[in-house]
Amino acid sequence: MRVGIIGAGIAGLSTALALRKAGHEVDLFQREADLGGLIATFDFDGIDIEHFYHFLCTTDIGYFRLCQELRLSEHLRFKKASTGFYYAGKPYNFFTPLDLLLFPGIPFAQRIRLGLFALEARSRKEWVQLDELTAKPWLIDRLGEQAYKVIWEPLLELKFGDFHDKISAAWVWHRIHRVAKCKGRMGYLNGGTKRLLDGLRERLAEDGVRVHAEQPVTQILAEDGHVSGLRFDGHENYHCDRVVSTVPLTVLSKLLPAGYEEYAAQLDRIDYIGVVCVSFKLKKAVSKHFWYNVHDERIPFNGIIEYTNLNPMEEHDFHIVYVPYYVATDTARYKMTDDEAVKESWEGIKRMNPKLTDDDLLASHVARTPYAQAICPTGFLKMMPDHKAPLEGLRLLDSTFLYPEDRTQSGHILKAFECAKHIEE
């Protein structure tokens, strides 16, 4: 069978690998020159690093299966990665049960409730009824007003910006469940995502998958209700038996052929949040924490990710810090210039650690994407379009279909492998 894949992020690359292994003829079409999509890397002043931070959980079995397939498992590393909380001008450890008990920002009884709640979320499996609940009142009811205000509101703002009070309880439950199951152990691939992408690139070339970079698909072609190929600007049409789309659903809706307007409208109901992610290369560490939540009105962000506290990159003598701003793409914050984003973030970081001076700033970089994450409001299950498109032969992969799970590389890989298994159906 001949299969055309739209998009060469982790989903498209994994689908290509699995389809080829199953004996299909595969062509992969990518809009950019680079492979990787959201996991693509850039040259940060001499080191290849991701535009957007990534960590692994011990439950990320899809990622482990891909590493095994590429013979990269020996490069996986896991360790206890500390979490901190910068609250109202002071740094706190926020990692062990004792840290939580000692945290002064919320009443003692609510600290206990918070700990018990995390334990319950870890063992809970049923979630469908949580889809009907909004996270904010659910969390206030379970934890108390102050615990929500101080801890959960900034965390939800960190991920969903102005949409934070619309998110479903099911999404929040799974997020706690995933992290709690890891018991503080987080992971990375030694050599970074570059190693994974190089492995995939080499393997796909060896296997005979044709990768067409800088060739965005402009339309899916159909004949008699079945996909027949793909159209591009400035290239000949491509003919195939199946199409796998790995682009965001609102991008896919514009690629559908005439006659599928109703389904396109369903796809357009899904909203995505954008992210502006500022990365810094520093002479000194900001903190000892990998994940450092922030609740301080004088600081414009809700958290930082000090990547080198997870992956120490021992051969290098610097520290990498990411500052993400999850915001709608029509906001001033999304549109701010790179210089403004760097300046504001750097001032915030210096406030968190006054020992840092401008001399410690070696380099900075700003990355943006309008499709950081599908927004999962209350009742998301009913909003989700059918992942089997009414157009025969078209398969969809998107983080929407991972719900209530967060969008992880691992989730995408598992879905990609599953899609390849069922492509002939």
Q: Distance between CA 345 and CA 138 in Å, rounded?
A: 32
Q: Does residue 32 belong to the site contacting ligand FAD (CB under 6 A)? A: yes
Q: Which window, 90-98, 110-118, 244-252, 262-270, contacts ligand FAD (CB under 6 A)?
A: 244-252
Pairing, β 242-245 against β 394-396: parallel
Q: In the complex with ligand FAD, which residue's Cβ is closer, 148 or 307?
A: 307
Q: Does residue 368 belong to the site contacting ligand FAD (CB under 6 A)? A: no
Residue 423: CB minimum distance to ligand FAD, A: 17
Q: Based on the number of CB atoms within 10 Å of its own CB, is 234 exposed (0-12), middle (13-18) or buried (19 or more)?
A: exposed
Q: In the complex with ligand FAD, which residue's Cβ is closer, 364 or 369?
A: 369
Which residue type, as a one-letter code, is found at position 239? Answer: H
From first CA to last CA, the distance across the chain in angstroms is 12
Residue 52: CB minimum distance to ligand FAD, A: 4
Helices (H), 72-191: 97-102, 108-123, 135-143, 145-147, 153-160, 169-181
Q: In the complex with ligand FAD, which residue's Cβ is closer, 3 or 247?
A: 247
Q: Using the rule CB under 6 A, which residue among 19, 20, 37, 69 binds ligand FAD?
A: 37
Could you give the angle at which helices 10-21 and 192-207 cross, rounded to 10 degrees?
30
Site for ligand FAD in 297-326 (CB under 6 A): 324
Which residue type, as a one-letter code, is found at position 58? Answer: T
Q: In the complex with ligand FAD, which residue's Cβ is closer, 114 or 247?
A: 247
Q: Does residue 29 belong to the site contacting ligand FAD (CB under 6 A)? A: yes
Q: Does residue 409 belong to the site contacting ligand FAD (CB under 6 A)? A: yes
Q: Does residue 342 belong to the site contacting ligand FAD (CB under 6 A)? A: no
x/- binding map, residues 47-86, to ligand FAD, per CB under 6 A?
-----xxxx-------------------------------
Q: Tell me the two tokens of residue 393.
A: 């032969």
Site for ligand FAD in 188-227 (CB under 6 A): 216-217
Total residues belonging to the chain: 425
Q: Distance between CA 306 and CA 323 in Å, rounded?
A: 9
Q: Using the rule CB under 6 A, which residue among 275, 304, 310, 389 binds ligand FAD?
A: 275
Q: Does residue 287 belong to the site contacting ligand FAD (CB under 6 A)? A: no
- Kindly report the number of other CB atoms within 10 A of residue 73's CB atom: 13
Q: Distance between CA 64 and CA 229 in Å, rounded?
A: 33
Show Cβ contacts of residue 34 under 8 Å, excluding neighbours closer than 6 positions. 40, 213
Residues that bind ligand FAD (CB under 6 A): 6-12, 29-32, 37-39, 52-55, 216-217, 246-247, 251, 275, 277, 324, 369, 371-372, 399, 407-410, 412
